[in-house]
């Protein structure tokens, strides 16, 4: 090497050693920096610079639990709320880099008051709206949801995370209201598609006597007609017998009728349906609210990266994520995605973005989820599963649609009177 070039080579070497030392120092300190950022996110701290703040509220009407329902089938006290809290944590973890933050307001409501008069929840909602929370997640009966909608300004966005009533998507068409909870007909259409794929057609329908059971049974009959199946008979369970010791004899006698391919049960309150599998007169599969289920989510779903969400939720709440938890989770995640895309927390801007044809949100479902512009229902696959494994995910192969195969589940545009948006 020429003598004149040696100082340049030595200088380059020293610079390289210095850079290497800096790299080692950064590598050693990175866990501390990352852990501090995670601590800020979990504590809900806002970025130091001025960012975008989105205020949400959640109103839930506690479910009425009949004393005969077994403890192991009763919903968790934080069902739905836990899903929303998980989504807020997930969104704020990434939102801190974009200077975006979501705050969720909660309230304890009196159960007796809600059963007779929705004034308490309306008062709470109006207080939140006055304080700047113009988007509310709601888990209410149809009557209370209608009453709430009438008393709030029309610009306030409601997202239904709990009510499956088909009339909300077909006839009632509440203004500025979206639905992340799947409807009864989305559930029953998913099961009817599976029946068609397995060449099962003849149905014995066993339903309870509550209004919710009747609504689910109506959806079953609509799906039977829609997919060309046959209803052999409908039987309504109206007894108050303690079946725990006599299920084998009582239910075998109750399900005795003409030949059927399967039993479709409509028991939303868990009064008898859990005892039907393996206790029918004919040895046939049981589907519906018991047996093989159709719902937005289950603890057995692990594909498409879902195990990551399952693990985060279980670590935080010490239980499995339910379908209602998922409905609340995806509602907040959709708002977070719209917030990222629009860079605005203004409610009209977020609503317009969420109903846009090119909007989608990831939900660990293997497909992009979006909202139907006519009735605000979230398009989503419906997993079919039993207690220990995922069976299939609807829409199944072969069930086609002119624009979106997920619109084969539930009320399509021509089946609904609603026209929430004309963007599609």
pLDDT in tens, 369-383: 999 999 999 999 999
Tokens of 258: 């003409």
Averaged pLDDT for residues 207-232: 97
Percent of the chain predicted with pLDDT > 90: 75
Q: What is the pLDDT of residue 421?
A: 76
Tens of pLDDT, residue by residue over 37-85, are 343 333 333 443 568 999 999 999 887 777 778 888 999 999 999 999 9
Q: What is the pLDDT of residue 10?
A: 45
Write down which residue in 278, 294, 310 finishes a domain: 294
Tens of pLDDT, residue by residue over 280-326, are 999 999 999 999 999 999 999 999 999 999 999 999 999 999 999 99
Q: What is the pLDDT of residue 1?
A: 47
Write down which residue in 294, 322, 354 finishes a domain: 294
In this structure, are strands 177-179 and 202-207 parallel, antiparallel, or unpaired?
unpaired
Q: What is the pLDDT of residue 7?
A: 45
**Does residue 411 surpass a pLDDT of 70?**
yes
Averaged pLDDT for residues 322-332: 98
By CB neighbour count within 10 A (0-12 exposed, 13-18 middle, 19+ buried), where does 234 fall? middle
d(CA 243, CA 235): 17
**Does residue 21 surpass a pLDDT of 60?**
no
Do 253 and 305 reside in the same domain of the chain?
no
Establish if 34 belongs to a structural domain.
no
Do 326 and 177 reside in the same domain of the chain?
yes
Do 357 and 255 reside in the same domain of the chain?
no
Do 151 and 214 reside in the same domain of the chain?
no
The answer to whether 41 touches 90, Cβ cutoff 8 Å, is no
Instruction: Look over the chain and give the mean of its residue pLDDT values, rounded to a whole number.
Output: 87
Q: What is the pLDDT of residue 322?
A: 97
Specify the CATH number for the domain of residue 201: 3.40.50.2300
Tens of pLDDT, residue by residue over 166-202, are 999 999 999 999 999 999 999 999 999 999 999 999 9
The count of structural domains within the chain is 2
21-35, 139-153, 194-208, 369-383: which has the minimum mean pLDDT? 21-35
Do 325 and 190 reside in the same domain of the chain?
no
The CB-based long-range contact list for 246-250 (8 Å cut-off, 24+ gap) reads 247/275, 247/279, 248/279
Given the structure tokens 């149809």, which residue do they identify? 142
**Does residue 215 surpass a pLDDT of 50?**
yes
What are the helix (H) ranges across 54-103? Answer: 81-95
**Does residue 150 surpass a pLDDT of 90?**
yes
Given the structure tokens 């929370």, which residue do they identify? 133
Range of the domain at 209: 186-294
Do 167 and 203 reside in the same domain of the chain?
no
Q: What b/e sequence results for 130-145 when a residue is b if at least 16 CB atoms lie within 10 Å of its CB, and e otherwise?
A: eeebbbbbbbbbbebb
CA-only gyration radius of the chain, Å = 26
Reported as a pLDDT band with limits 50, 70 and 90, residue 400 is: confident
In this structure, are strands 382-385 and 390-394 parallel, antiparallel, or unpaired?
antiparallel
Do 357 and 409 reside in the same domain of the chain?
yes
Percent of the chain predicted with pLDDT > 70: 85
């Amino acid at each position: 090497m020429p003598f004149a070039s040696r100082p340049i080579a030595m200088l380059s070497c020293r610079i390289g050693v210095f850079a290497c030392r800096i790299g080692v120092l950064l590598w050693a300190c990175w866990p501390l920096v990352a852990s501090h950022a995670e601590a800020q996110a979990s504590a809900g701290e806002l970025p130091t610079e001025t960012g975008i703040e989105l205020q949400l509220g959640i109103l839930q009407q506690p479910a009425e639990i009949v004393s005969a329902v077994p403890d192991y089938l009763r919903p968790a006290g934080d069902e739905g709320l836990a899903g929303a809290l998980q989504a807020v944590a997930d969104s704020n973890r990434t939102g801190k880099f974009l200077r975006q933050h979501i705050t969720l307001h909660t309230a304890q409501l009196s159960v007796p008051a809600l059963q007779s008069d929705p004034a308490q929840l309306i008062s709470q909602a109006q207080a939140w709206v006055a304080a700047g929370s113009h988007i509310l997640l709601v888990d209410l009966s149809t009557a209370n949801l209608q009453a709430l909608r009438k008393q709030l300004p029309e610009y306030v966005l409601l997202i239904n995370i709990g009510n499956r009533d088909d009339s909300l998507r077909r006839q009632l068409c509440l203004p500025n209201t979206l639905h992340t909870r799947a409807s009864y007909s989305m559930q029953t259409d998913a099961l009817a598609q599976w029946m068609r794929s397995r060449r099962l057609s003849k149905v014995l329908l066993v339903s309870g006597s509550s209004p919710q059971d009747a609504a689910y049974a109506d959806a079953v009959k609509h799906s039977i007609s829609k997919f060309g199946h046959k209803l052999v008979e409908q039987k309504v369970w109206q007894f108050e017998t303690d079946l725990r010791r006599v299920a084998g004899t009582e239910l075998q006698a109750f399900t005795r009728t003409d030949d059927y391919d399967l039993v479709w049960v409509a028991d939303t309150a868990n009064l008898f349906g859990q005892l039907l599998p393996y206790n029918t007169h004919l040895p046939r599969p049981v589907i519906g609210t018991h047996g093989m289920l159709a719902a937005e989510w289950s603890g057995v779903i692990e594909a498409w990266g879902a195990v990551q969400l399952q693990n985060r939720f279980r670590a935080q709440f010490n239980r499995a994520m339910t379908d209602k938890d998922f409905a609340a989770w995806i509602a907040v995640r959709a708002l977070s995605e719209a917030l990222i895309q629009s860079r605005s927390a203004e409610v009209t801007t977020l609503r317009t973005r969420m109903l846009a044809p090119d909007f989608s949100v990831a939900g660990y479902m293997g497909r992009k989820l979006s909202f139907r512009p006519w009735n605000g229902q979230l398009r989503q696959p419906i997993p079919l599963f039993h207690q220990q494994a995922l069976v299939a995910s609807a829409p199944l192969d072969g069930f086609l649609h002119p624009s979106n195969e997920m619109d084969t589940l539930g009320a399509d545009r021509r089946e609904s009177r609603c026209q929430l948006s004309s963007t599609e």
